[in-house]
Chains A and B, each alone.
Chain A
Amino acid sequence: MTTTALDTLGRLESEAIHIFREVAGEFDRPVILFSGGKDSTLLLHLAIKAFWPAPVPFPLLHVDTGHNFDEVIEFRDRVVARHGLRLEVARVQDYIDDGRLAERPDGTRNPLQTVPLLDAITGHRFDAVFGGGRRDEERARAKERIFSLRNSFGQWEPRRQRPELWNLYNGRHRPGEHVRVFPLSNWTELDVWHYIAREGIELPSIYYAHHREVYLRDGMWLAEGPWGGPREGERLVGKTVRYRTVGDGSCTGAVESDAADIEAVIAEVAASRLTERGATRADDRLSEAAMEDRKREGYF
């Protein structure tokens, strides 16, 4: 084989593999945040490539809001078993049950993930936490470093970010601090889908068009579920939909779509005039700086 310049996907893949290996070389207890969504599934695929033929030297961590899509949990467990990985689960429900967290009036549990996440990081003494965040998702995420230091409260401090120079990543941290690592920083949503197609990566079925009973709330099609819907005045209707992101069921909306396979999804994403978060994530609509505020608290 002759090698010339890498194409875009090859360059992004190489960069992500480099980041995984840097963390493996410099940290004691890394962990990969894994929800079964497309970005974390991609993350895991890249981790497997980075250490082949050796196994991935990190466990996975899922912060479970309790508001899951069954297809995603089934997928998560199947992937973990197939690759012989270790999965830790931090459950929001446990915190609600024993009173450490209170259910929000709007029923969404996405913001409630922060405390169980930080407790899991502290409890397991994780010092590097991989996430699938991308800079193209949101303005505050565009400011994120690839190695992003969090203080002992798990907080992001944008004014104190370290300069990130060349591809020399500084992972130094003091006891109690940890580093969030974002190997997909430079990927766009479309890059993610092109790569999933190129590599033939399996995803939860809800990413592709299927029939589902949904109801309309705040302009989004939400699925029936334990998160309290439909309420009075909200009517279930059958639609052909798919999901662009997978998160807490209470605030992750479906989009009407006939895209039943990956080529159709790529065509749809390329033509879409809405960002994936704007289209389907209610929690980002709360304020102009919703994401930044949550990241400052310790959210991903």
Chain B
Amino acid sequence: MSDLLRLATAGSVDDGKSTLVGRLLYDTKSVLADTLDAVHRASADRGLATPDLSLLVDGLRSEREQGITIDVAYRYFATPKRSFVLADTPGHVQYTRNTVTGASTAQLGVLLVDARKGVVEQTRRHAAVLALLGVPRLVLAVNKIDLVGFDQPTFARIAKEFTAHATALGYAEDAVVEIPVSALAGDNVVERSDRTPWYTGPTLLEHLETVPVEPDPHDAPFRFPVQYVIRPRTPEHPDYRGYAGLVAAGTVRVGDEVAVLPNGLRSTVTGIDTADGPLDEAAAGQSVTLLLEHDLDISRGDLIAAAAVPPTVTDELDATVCWLSEKPLAPGARVLVKHGTRTVQAMVTELRTRFDEQRLASTDAPASLALNEIGQVAVRTAEPIPVDDYTRNRRTGSFLVIDAADGSTLAAGLVGAPLPVLDGIDNDAADGHALVSPGP
């Protein structure tokens, strides 16, 4: 079992997400005394009778003033069983892009709903974003269960509706778990609640401690974006020439035959160096320096890959983009694409579809993509780049779309169509599905 779980939270405004995260930190004793004192003082200053746990996490001045979370924050906590990196993302519609940020590295998504409101538009949107970004597992925390009198049928109805939505997004049923909680009172977050005797599943923390974590795929084809060429030119190392980078996927061993892309040259790995000494092999996640048999012209931006299973080298990409900028995307837009360690000029030649996360359907050829919209596009790059499909490799299948003028990040790009299952969904059937919130 992995000792680390990376998770991202998501949920609508006022669903109590910051309180849930605060509760998780508080009940796992991850909050130290002085921090807690500060929260007690700040809560008292606001005239509150009990400490407002959301103040543990809402750190920005305007967040505390408005009582909402504006920006994604990262929290670290640990139990004897596991360490956790939690991306705490805002629920407000205008900050959905931060959900994309949190989801890009998450192994599990925790979605929150208010038990009085059930599954709402934001829940469906966030679940779709998590599915698209390849987050392997979901938890639905049905919060404020105390405010519906710990009513089992209410929970069951919400759980059923959410399961239907998640499975339509491609999740297996065992990858999705619903838990009735009260973040404010602490029911079923860390401590098991005796007020939900009908619930026999794990508490949120028990689930986080035991949920399987998909490991980095060491048996995937080897991928290594070259970050930097190390050439000391010192008396001790006059001829040293190493290619520094982080193994993005798979495993490399001394003696392996590799291809250097995009130019396609071949060589053999003669050494794997680190400052702590040479290795026989290196696997996904390791920063190393590769030495090759031939003196090739390799520089930052190249990709060293398993010669037998190379990625596709192309200058015509089919991709899905999550548009993260206020400036809308129109066909013909000139942008920069950062893929691995290479940044190339590119043009979005065609907007093919726009994904409607409410109806789980795609509409044809939109005129533009606005902030927070997701669509499939065609991209032409000024030079060929070596890519994998996102569903096969989250590292070499992902790219940034960058504004060449001001440098801002415009979009998250995913090679291919990571939600292919949706193409087969019959819209009428989706409408007929209980996907409409029953309301309070």
A→B interface (CB under 8 Å): 1-8, 10-11, 13-15, 17-18, 21-22, 24-25, 48-55, 135-136, 138-143, 149, 158-159, 161-168, 170, 172-174, 185-186, 188, 272-275, 278-279, 288-289, 292-293
Given contacts A21-B228, A139-B57, contact A3 B70 (CB under 8 A): no
Q: Is the CB of A14 within 8 A of B287?
A: yes
Given contacts A166-B394, A186-B85, contact A4 B230 (CB under 8 A): no
A15 and B286 CA atoms in complex are apart in Å by 8
Contact for A6 among B280, B286, B409, CB less than 8 A: B286
Closest residue of chain B to A164 (Cβ to Cβ) is: B101
Given contacts A142-B74, A163-B100, A166-B104, contact A293 B285 (CB under 8 A): no
Q: Is the CB of B246 within 8 A of A135?
A: no
| Bitwise interface map of B from 53 to 88 toward A, beta carbon under 8 Å scored 1, else 0 | 000111111101000001111111000000101000
Answer yes or no: B275 CB below 8 A from chain A CBs.
yes
Nearest CB of B to A91, in Å: 31
Nearest CB of B to A62, in Å: 24
* Chain A residues positioned under 8 Å from B263 (CB to CB): none
Q: Is the CB of A14 within 8 A of B246?
A: yes
Interface size on B, residues (CB 8 A): 78
Closest residue of chain B to A185 (Cβ to Cβ) is: B74
A-B contact pairs, 28 of them (CB 8 A): A1-B279, A3-B279, A3-B281, A5-B2, A6-B285, A7-B3, A8-B83, A10-B286, A11-B4, A21-B287, A22-B227, A52-B230, A52-B273, A52-B274, A53-B234, A54-B233, A135-B73, A139-B56, A140-B59, A143-B59, A162-B409, A165-B400, A166-B398, A168-B340, A174-B407, A275-B35, A288-B64, A292-B61
Contact for B216 among A5, A55, A141, A279, CB less than 8 A: A5
Q: Give the contacts of B91-112 with A (CB-CB under 8 A).
A: 97-98, 100-101, 104-105
Q: Is the CB of B71 within 8 A of A53?
A: no
* Chain B residues positioned under 8 Å from A2 (CB to CB): 280-281
* Chain A residues positioned under 8 Å from B236 (CB to CB): 53
Q: Is the CB of B230 within 8 A of A158?
A: no
Q: Is the CB of A8 within 8 A of B399?
A: no
Closest residue of chain A to B283 (Cβ to Cβ) is: A3
Closest residue of chain B to A24 (Cβ to Cβ) is: B228
Contact for A48 among B56, B57, B275, B283, CB less than 8 A: B275
A270 and B408 CA atoms in complex are apart in Å by 40
* Chain B residues positioned under 8 Å from A185 (CB to CB): 74
* Chain A residues positioned under 8 Å from B287 (CB to CB): 13-15, 17-18, 21, 50
Contact for A135 among B61, B74, B398, CB less than 8 A: B74
A17 and B288 CA atoms in complex are apart in Å by 9
Closest residue of chain A to B227 (Cβ to Cβ) is: A21
Known: A8-B3, A14-B246, A167-B395; 7 extra A-B contacts, CB below 8 A, are: A5-B285, A8-B83, A17-B287, A142-B75, A163-B101, A289-B59, A292-B61
Closest residue of chain B to A14 (Cβ to Cβ) is: B287
Nearest CB of A to B152, in Å: 37
Q: Is the CB of B60 within 8 A of A170?
A: no
A22 and B300 CA atoms in complex are apart in Å by 10
Q: Is the CB of B398 within 8 A of A168?
A: yes
Q: Is the CB of A49 within 8 A of B275?
A: yes
Given contacts A8-B4, A273-B33, A288-B42, contact A142 B73 (CB under 8 A): yes
Closest residue of chain A to B246 (Cβ to Cβ) is: A18
* Chain B residues positioned under 8 Å from A159 (CB to CB): 62, 70-71
Closest residue of chain A to B299 (Cβ to Cβ) is: A25
Answer yes or no: B304 CB below 8 A from chain A CBs.
no
Most buried by B among A49, A135, A172, A188: A172
Nearest CB of A to B18, in Å: 11
Answer yes or no: B406 CB below 8 A from chain A CBs.
yes
Q: Is the CB of B338 within 8 A of A170?
A: yes
A273 and B246 CA atoms in complex are apart in Å by 37
